[in-house]
Amino acid sequence: MAVVLSVGTNAVFLSLRSNKIGGERDIANALAFEALEAVRAATEENWQNIYGLIKSSQHYQIATPSGKWELATGDETINLNGIDYTRYVTIDNVSRDDSTRYVQNSYVSAADDPSTQKVTVTVSWSGGNPVVLYEYFFRWKNKVCNQTSWVTGGSGTTVKTCPDTSYDTKDSGVDISTGSLKLQ
């Protein structure tokens, strides 16, 4: 009877421990998905909200100082059910294979894709294996500004806001008299 009771007690203990760990992991997954959605909202508002950030090594946390989702530097600690979860986001540049256009496993600056960023969210807590989720974000909501003149507007290296009709000076070697001009 003592052996059966001992085995039964261990089985109940392991079951409760497994449920606790599973519940903690579910919370960590939810926190990671929440962070991805916050980054998505910030990105849809303005691509520069993630593209202009320091890449790979810098940790970011979700913030809403102005009522909108933003990324601020550092990790954040979230206490739920008496457990401290640490969450942070990292952003990485993405490069693509020239022939297949698939995302490359390792970043190659010569094949940079400025319209794609890899966002990784890590959630960790004491006693559990970290949850790491990543997703690729794409710049899809571009604005198109009509250029109506060759008036000097800068070197072309700054982000323009529409409407803006001046971009750069016309190079004296460019002949547009035939009616077409292809910029690359």
Banded pLDDT at 74 (limits 50, 70, 90):
very high
Cβ neighbourhood burial of 102 (10 Å; 0-12, 13-18, 19+): exposed
Residue-range domain boundaries for the chain: 2-138, 141-170
- 75: nearest Cα among 62, 84, 64: 62
- How confident is the model over 138-167, as a mean pLDDT? 58
- 121: nearest Cα among 160, 86, 166, 82: 86
Residue 166 CA to chain centroid, in angstroms?
A: 32
Can you give the pTM of this predicted structure? Answer: 0.68
Could you please report the per-residue DSSP string of 20-33? HHHHHHHHHHHHHH
The CA distance from 118 to 97, in Å, is: 16
Highest mean pLDDT among 9-13, 14-18, 99-103, 148-152: 99-103
